[in-house]
Structures are given as C-alpha cells and as structure tokens.
Amino acid sequence: KTTGTVISAIVLLRELVRLYQGQKELTSLPPRSRGVESLIGNTPLIEIKSLSKLTGCKIYAKLELMNPAGSAKDRVALSIIKSNEQLGKLKPFNNDIIFEGTSGSTGISFAMLCNALGYTAHICLPDDTSPEKLQLLKSLGAELEPVKPASIVDPNQYTNAARNGANKINNDPNDPRNAIFADQFENDFNWKIHYQTTGPEIWKQMDGDLDVFINGSGTGGTISGVSRFLKEQDSNIKVILADPQGSGLFNRVNYGVMYDHVEKEGTRRRHQVDTLVEGIGLNRLTWNFKQGENNIDLAIRVSDDQALKMAKYLSINDGLFWGSSAAINCVAAVKTALKLGPGNKIVVIACDSGARHLSKFWKEAEKISNDITLDDIID
Ligand code: PMP
C-alpha cells in the first residue's frame, strides 16, 4: 500500500512539474510570438478516401492549405523573417521593408506576416496575376508593384524588380529605411524550413511508415526539404515529382536534360510554363530545386485536362476543394498507386485551396461533369 501511495505521489509530482514547465514556456513567450504566426505549421494530414478505395493503396494529403495565410508559403515567409531578425538584418516596428517577387502565395504570406510582425511587404508581381490573389494582397494592404510578365533574364521581371527595389533603398543615403530581398527561389531558408518542419511532421503523422512522397516544384523548397528529411529516415521511401505540362523539370529528372521548349520558340516569356496550373512547373533550375534534386526518383507529367478532372473529382467525391497543384499531385498519386499495386502508403501535399484559383483553373474545372470517374482521368 505504501509503495502504491509513493508511486501515485511521484506521478502527481511529475504531472505538476510538467504543467508548470508548460505554463512557464507559454508565459515566457513575448506577446508577438503568440499572434497569427503561432498558427503556422503542424498542419493536419488526412486520407483521401475515394482514391484509397479505388486504388487499394492508402493515399494521404498533408493540408498545407490550413496555414493561416492559406498555403505552405507561410512557413517559408516566417522562416525568412525570423532568420533575418536573428542575423540583425531586420528589426520589427522600424519601418523595415521586405521585397519579394512572386505571382502567388508567397506574397500573401509575407503580406500577412509583415502586418503581424511589424514590417512592410513590397510585392513585385506580374500584371496578369489572378484577381483573387490581387484582391487578397490589396486587402492586406501590401505595397504592390505590377510589372509586365517577362522571362527571368529580363531585368524588369518580377524577381529582378524586387531585388532592384531593395538595393535601391539600401544604397540611397537619404533613405533612412532598411530593406531585404526575400528571394524565395534562391534562399537557403526555404528548403531548410521544410526539412526542419514539414518533413518531420509527415514522418510523425505517418508513424514512420510510408512508401512514397509526391509533390510538384515551384521554387523546389518543399520537395527538396521534405525529401531530404524522409530519405534520411528511410532510404526506401520513393520521391516523385508531379510536373505540369510545359515544365522542363520532367525531362531534367527522368533524362538529365532540361529541354526548354518555350525557349526554342524564342518567345519573350520563354521561362514561363504554358499551363493552367499555378505555382508549380519551371523551365529553369533554382537553387532550392537543386538542393533535393538527387532525392527525386521519378517525375510524372500531368496534363491540364487530367488536373482539371481530378480537382472536380475530389470536390464531388470527397468534399475536397483544392488548388491546381494539389490536383496534379493526386493524379500522380493514383498513377503511382496503380503501378505499385495495393497496400502502399502515399503522401501528397495539398498546397492551397480552390478559392485561390477561381478565376482561371476552377472556371474550367467547374464545367466538368459531376459523374467524372477515375477511368476518365487516368489513361
Ligand atoms: N503549389 C502552389 C499553389 C504554390 O504556390 C507553390 C509555390 N509556388 C507550390 C505548390 C510549390 O511549392 P515550392 O515553391 O516549395 O516548390
């Protein structure tokens, strides 16, 4: 009896200590660490039941669209801000400006986080950016600089415009402000935050048991960071790149050459990819893609037609209203499941919601019949 009482007392004491430490941790955080940025990461992972049922595999999606500004880019934006603060290159509530060149989610993540953490977001973007993304950026009050869509080698291209903007402020002795260029495509903090957070989260949520990871590549940060972490845990995990039509990464991964179709035609927009899918596919190699390239086992090319049909299929059969890159990943997941056979566990990323793609991708996807089947999607 005495032993029982002593054990109970020890258990109780340990609980109290744990509670105290947890509370201390929470209260010792400065107030701004508990704002909207504290909601970033630790996103849920769900099973896509219709795809599992039809393929005999288990197909899961990591819901990056549940981050507060609606995409995986929240992780990257927060990491770039925090790292620059630690390096002394940014100081909150000091009129510091963060420049980024982006046509998509990264700008929205920076706009939200800059408001929350005491900075100004200056976003250079192509002037054909979709109205819903533009509206979001305007609602968040970001400084917007629309530029004519152009190839990356053009000095006026949006990435170069952002770099130039930051340099101009920093080189002007009469401008008291301080600026940084976030540079998501080439910045090491991008893939590293996925290596440090997204990868470990997937590993934990899958209880260390998965066979395949599938994702597209925009900057390449997500696929590089996640694949590097997962392969370090289990080298048998296969990593597959889901690539939209018109992107050169497919050939780069499968055949070791980057065949730049559009460049051959000599058009001004030669580095852009001709697809309805937004956020992924590229005809140039970025630093972030190169950091994980060796971990990619195979690339699967997905047509716009397949992506549109899959998006509608998931919406009707699972209630999952997703963006175009998530749909591409799911097409590649079904193809992989059918090739590998039943029993395999496959994880894809659902980067953002269909609400970000209403005026372009979903305008086409909504027209597809509710009766669409997987046979109609996979040839
Ligand atoms: N999906 C969407 C909708 C995106 O905006 C992006 C980023 N451009 C990606 C996927 C790919 O992410 P990453 O840049 O990490 O390759």
Q: Does the pLDDT at position 370 exceed 50?
A: yes
Q: pLDDT tens digits for 319-351?
A: 999 999 999 999 999 999 999 999 999 999 999
Ligand 1 geometric centre to CA of 215 (Å): 9
Q: Which residue's C-alpha comes closest to atom 5 of ligand 1?
A: 279
Res 257: pLDDT: 86
Q: How far apart are CA 35 and CA 57, in angstroms?
A: 39
Q: pLDDT tens digits for 133-182?
A: 999 999 999 999 999 887 777 888 899 999 999 999 999 999 999 999 99
∠ CA 291-294-297, rounded to 5°: 130
Note whether 244 and 275 are within 8 A (CB).
yes
Note whether 112 and 69 are within 8 A (CB).
yes
Ligand 1 geometric centre to CA of 271 (Å): 16
> Count H helices, E strands: the chain?
16, 10
Q: pLDDT tens digits for 263-307?
A: 444 443 445 567 888 889 988 899 999 999 999 999 999 999 999
Structure letter (DSSP) for residue 71: S
Note whether 360 and 352 are within 8 A (CB).
no
Res 33: pLDDT: 57
Ligand 1 geometric centre to CA of 217 (Å): 6
| Pocket perturbation via mutation, ligand 1, pick of 43, 71, 80, 249 by most ligand atoms within 8 A of CB | 71
Ligand 1 geometric centre to CA of 39 (Å): 19
Ligand 1 environment, Cβ below 6 A:
71, 104-105, 216-223, 278-280, 323, 325, 351-352
Q: pTM for this structure?
A: 0.89
Across the strands, what pairs with 180?
Answer: 98
Q: How far apart are CA 10 and CA 16, in angstroms?
A: 10
**What distance lies between CA 26 and its chain's CA centroid?**
28
Which residues are annotated as catalytic?
A: 73
Reduced to 3 states (helix: H, G, I; strand: E, B; else coil), residue 151 is coil
Q: Does the pLDDT at position 1 exceed 80?
A: no
Res 24: pLDDT: 53
